Structure 1
Amino acid sequence: MNLIIGDDFIERTCISKEQMRKFLVYYQGLNTPKPFKGHAGIKDFVKRVGCLQYDPLNVVGRNIDLILQSRLDNYEPYMLDKLMYQDREIIDGWDKMMSIYCIEDWAYFLRIRNKRKTEIEGILERRNSSDAISYVDTVRKYISNNGACLPSKIDLGGTKSGKWGHVKYSSAVMDYMFNMGMLGVKMKINVQRVYDLIENILPKEIMEMNDPFDSDRSFYKWYFKRRIGSIGLYWNRNGGGWLGHVVSDKRLRSEILRDLCAERELIRVEVEGVPENFYIRTEDSHMLADMEQNFEKKVTFLAPLDNLLWDRKLVKDIFNFEYSWEVYIPASKRKFGYYVLPVLYGDQIIARFEPEVHRGDKPLIIKNWWWEDKIVVTDEVIHEIMECFTRFCGFLKSSGLSDSSYDAIFGK
Structure 2
Amino acid sequence: MTALSSLPAPVATLGADDARRIALRAQGLLGAPDRRGGVRGVLRRLGAVQLDTISVLARSHELVPYARLGAVGRPAIETAYWGSGASFEYWSHAACVLPVEEWPLFAFRRRRYRAKAHVWGKQADAATYRSVLDKLRAEGPLTSTELGGAKKTADWWDWSDTKIAVERALAFGDVVCTERRSWKRVYALAEQAIPADLFAAEPDDAECLRTLVAQSGAALGVATRADLADYHRLRVDQLDAVLADSGLVPVEVAGWGPNGAPGAAWADPAALAATPRGRHRSTLLSPFDSLIWDRPRTERIFGMLHRLEAYTPKHKRVHGYFAMPLLTGGRLVGRVDPAREGRTLVARQISLDSPRHVEALADALREAAGWVGCDSVRVEALQDESLRPALERLLA
Smaller-chain TM-score bracket: 0.7 to 0.9
* Residue from 199, 205, 208 that aligns with 1:216: 205
Match of 2:394 in 1: none
Is the 8 Å Cα contact of residues 49 and 230 (structure 1) preserved in structure 2?
Answer: yes
- Name the SS for the 1:335 alignment partner: coil
Q: How far 1:193 moved relative to its partner?
A: 1.0
SS class of match (2:71): coil
**In structure 2, what is the equivalent of residue 185 of structure 1?**
177
Quote the residue 1:368 is aligned against. Answer: 349
Partner residue in 1 for 2:393: none
State the Cα distance separating 1:306 from its structure 2 match.
0.9
Q: Which of 256, 275, 294 does residue 274 from structure 1 map onto?
A: 256
Distance 1:218 1:195 in 2: 28
1:103 aligns with 2:89: no
Q: Tell me if structure 2 keeps the 8 A contact 1:89–1:103.
A: yes
Please tell me whether the aligned partners of residues 340 and 352 of structure 1 are also in contact (alpha carbons under 8 angstroms). Answer: yes
The reply to whether residue 402 of structure 1 matches residue 381 of structure 2 is: no
Task: Give me the CA root mean square deviation.
Answer: 2.9
- Identify the residue that residue 48 of structure 1 maps to in structure 2: 45
Q: Where in structure 1 are there 5+ consecutive unaligned residues?
A: 1-6
CA positional deviation for 1:321: 0.5
For residues 216 and 203 of structure 1, the distance between their equivalents in structure 2, rounded to whole angstroms, comes to: 21
Alignment of 1:144-293 (within 5 A): 144-155=137-148, 165-207=157-199, 209-211=200-202, 213=203, 215-237=204-226, 241-242=230-231, 244=233, 247-249=234-236, 251-260=237-246, 265-275=247-257, 276-287=263-274, 289=275, 291-292=276-277
Give the secondary structure class of the aligned counterpart of 2:308.
Answer: coil
Return closer, same or farther for 1:10/1:47 CA change in 2, 3 Å cut-off: farther
Q: Which residue is equivalent to 1:3?
A: none
* 1:397 alignment partner, SS class: coil
- CA deviation string 1:159-198 (max 9, x = no partner): 69x9774421111111111121222225322221122222
Distance of 2:169 and 2:8 partners within structure 1: 47
Structure 1 match to 2:15: 16
Q: 1:406 to 1:336 in 2, by over 3 A?
A: closer
CA distance in 2, matches of 1:332, 1:320: 25
Match runs of 1:82-101 below 5 Å? 82-101=79-98
**Conserved in 2, the CA contact under 8 Å of 1:46 and 1:101?**
yes
Q: Does the Cα contact within 8 Å between 1:183 and 1:195 map onto a contact in 2?
A: yes
1:192-246 per-residue CA deviation (whole Å, 9 max, x = no partner) reads 1122222332233333x322x3x433333222222223322110237982562xx
- The aligned amino acid for 1:316 is E
**Which amino acid in 1 is paired with 2:303?**
N
3-state secondary structure, aligned to 2:54: coil
Shift of 1:326: 1.3
- Indicate the larger mover: 316-325 or 226-235: 226-235
- Following superposition, the deviation at residue 259 of structure 1 comes to 3.9
Could you tell me whether the CA contact under 8 Å between 1:365 and 1:405 is conserved in 2? no
Q: 1:331-371, CA deviations, whole angstroms, 9 ceiling, x for partnerless residues?
A: 23322211110001112111001112x375x1101100012
C-alpha offsets along residues 122-141 of structure 1, whole Å, 9 cap, x if unaligned? Answer: 145x4xx4144441110111
Tell me, in whole angstroms, the C-alpha distance in 2 between the residues paired with 1:267 and 1:192: 41
Q: Give the deviation of 1:255 after TM superposition.
A: 4.3
Q: Distance in 1 between matches of 2:132 and 2:380?
A: 52
For residues 334 and 8 of structure 2, the distance between their equivalents in structure 1, rounded to whole angstroms, comes to 43
Give the match for residue 388 of structure 1. 364
Cα deviation code 1:20-42 (max 9, x no counterpart): 112212221112532x215x232
SS of residue in 2 equivalent to 1:220: helix
Tell me the distance in 1 between the aligned counterparts of 2:190 and 2:74: 24
Q: Percent identity?
A: 17
Question: Equivalents in 2 of 1:41, 1:157: separation in Å?
Answer: 34
User: What is the TM-score of this pair, normalised by structure 1?
Assistant: 0.82
Query: Aligned residue for 1:323?
Result: 306
Cα distance change on mapping 1:148 and 1:217 into 2, 3 Å: closer
State the secondary structure of the residue aligned to 1:326: coil
Match of 1:76 among 69, 73, 89: 73
Aligned residue number for residue 138 of structure 1: 131
Does the CA contact (< 8 Å) of 2:227 and 2:294 recur in 1?
A: no
Q: Helix, strand or coil for the counterpart of 1:99? A: strand
TM superposition outliers: structure 1 runs of 4+ over 4 Å: 7-11, 156-160, 403-409
